[in-house]
Amino acid sequence: MKKFATVFLVVILGGFLVAPAQAGPKHQDQNHWRPGCAQRFDQVVRKRDVAFQARDLTRLMPTYRQDAVEIDPTGAYLPGKATIEAHLTNLFAVDFVSTFVEYQRIVDGCGTALLVLESRFSNPAIGINMHFITSQTFTYERGQWLLLLAANTTIP
């Protein structure tokens, strides 16, 4: 049961975890350096944290782009917001405690932001003890920070 629970959680974990990208020239327009972008990024990070801990997809999913991509620890490629939501639905059905420690945060004006986290998911009762480095790349569109790419790497 422990092995099944761990494999199950690893496979569906892709619904949350992520990898970095760099801002391209298209983000270098006149709005790129508008004030307040870093503060708005802080707000969306807090919103995502609260929604994830509450297992609230209604609040979490609006923080994803429609074309978001996630790569889970097994290397599974999860293209699109609907696929990610399906995986998160399965993930949230499993009882576990999640903790996140921020390693790095980079906000490039109103273009791109990167968040790197140490992530842990655990439930000793069913043998879940997962440890990841999570990287999340966000883009700023129409006044909102949205998750574009999520990838994670298992830490032994």
Complete domains list, the chain, with CATH: 2-22+34-154 (3.10.450.50)
Mean pLDDT by 10 residues, the chain (156 residues): 46 41 40 73 96 96 97 87 96 92 95 96 89 96 95 90
**Quick one: pLDDT at residue 34?**
61
Tell me if 87 sits within 8 A of 95, measured CB to CB: no
Helix (H) or strand (E) holding 42: helix 37-53
**Residue 137 contacts by C-beta under 8 Å, 6 or more apart in sequence?**
18, 19, 20, 21, 112, 113, 114, 147, 148, 149, 150
Give me the pLDDT at residue 76, please: 84
pTM (two decimals): 0.77
* 5-38 CB burial, b ≥16 within 10 A, e <16: bbebbbbbbbbbbbbbeebeeebeeeebeeeebe
| pLDDT value of residue 13 | 47
Q: How many other C-beta atoms can be found within 10 angstroms of the C-beta atom of residue 116? A: 17
d(CA 135, CA 96): 21
Give residue 99's Cα distance to chain centre.
Answer: 13
